[in-house]
A = this chain, B = another copy of it.
Amino acid sequence: MDQAPKLVTDLLLPERGGGYAKGHETRELILRTALHLLIEEGYRAMSMRRVATACGMKLGNLTYHYPTREDLVRELLNAVISSYEVEFAAIVHAPGVPPEERLARVCGLIIDDIGSKKSTRLFPELWALANHDAFVYERVHELYDRARAPIVEIVAEMRPDLSEADRFDLSLFISASMEGLTVFAGYQRPYGERLTAVEAIAIRSFIDIVRSFKGSQ
């Protein structure tokens, strides 16, 4: 009752040949519970024991499926990020729609997602983790590269006259601008109720700068 409609499937976990169906269900429960704990109480609370207890299972069983905490974190990250990637892959195509409109739609989707509890809570945790964990760093920025790809494409369509570097910098600015809203206007952030208004400003601003930007040469 406190959440906008889900934009992204929460988890997408890999098939693992050979096991029972029960095992797959258990692993899904584990990752879902771990994610819930991460979002609700932060990374520290996502200990092996708390995850196991919250799952209603014994610690030994958790370490049976995920022998180390690092395994759990890696699999969780893979599952979370895969679900985002599936989402972004679906956005790209909308034939016949002018690029400005497509840019507005893509940005609208991303900003709406930023306003969700899951994204508002999850990504700052990931940014902090990425500071000191190479695997998280790599995986997170891989995700952002994919999320930025549609923007790069649209910018290229709008400004074929620009160099690739200029187009990339524009896209980088656009995606960074949106992510920055997480901290201020995300779910239950101090100016969360301004998100819609700021979204309009952002999209207008993005279209303007792409249209009017004079190349760096």
Contact = CB atoms under 8 A, between A and B. Distances in A.
A209 B198 CA distance: 12
A212 interface: yes
A42 interface: yes
Contacts of A128: 42-43, 124-125, 127-128
B201 A212 contact: no
In the complex, the count of this chain's copies comes to 2
A161 interface: no
A191 B209 contact: no
How many of chain A's residues touch chain B, expressed as a range? 35 or more
Nearest to A170: B201
Interface in A160-217: 165, 168-170, 172-173, 175-185, 190-191, 194, 197-198, 200-202, 204-206, 208-209, 212-213, 216
A144 B190 CA distance: 11
Contacts of A93: none
B144 A184 contact: yes
A141 B43 CA distance: 21
B184 A169 contact: no
